[in-house]
Amino acid sequence: MTAPALSLTFADLTQALSVATKLPPRVPAGERLATAWRGSLRQVDDAILFIRQYQRTIAEDRYPRSVENAQRVLPARLAGYLAAVRRVSEFEERMIADGIQFKKRIG
């Protein structure tokens, strides 16, 4: 294969790849912020669910191995919960500053 034929083949391949991997239009910043806020809310909900389960496991004290695991994992879950709550608060502050409406959840 000659050099011109090789470069033509490479150009054909790169053009096909660029057409196949077209990026979607840019997502507006407000929408990205709202999506991050919703994701952080889900993380708070998940953390609460696991924290309650770990607390229940420790309180019931039925299976020593499960209790040990819960005692070991609970501090990390609490830290994750606090970080998620902080992110939710920060996102809400930014959304208010940007004039993005959202519905606060209670309880």
Give domain limits for the chain.
Answer: 27-107
Lowest mean pLDDT among 44-48, 77-81, 85-89, 99-103: 99-103
Mean pLDDT of 44-68: 97
With 70 as the cut, is the pLDDT of residue 40 above it?
Answer: yes
With 70 as the cut, is the pLDDT of residue 4 above it?
Answer: no
pLDDT for the residue 26: 84
Max avg pLDDT among 2-6, 15-19, 32-36: 32-36
Phi-psi region of 80 (alpha: psi -120 to 50; beta: other; left: phi over 0): alpha
| pTM of the model as a whole | 0.71
* 78 within 8 A of 51, measured Cβ to Cβ: yes
- Model confidence at 103, pLDDT cuts 50, 70, 90, reads confident
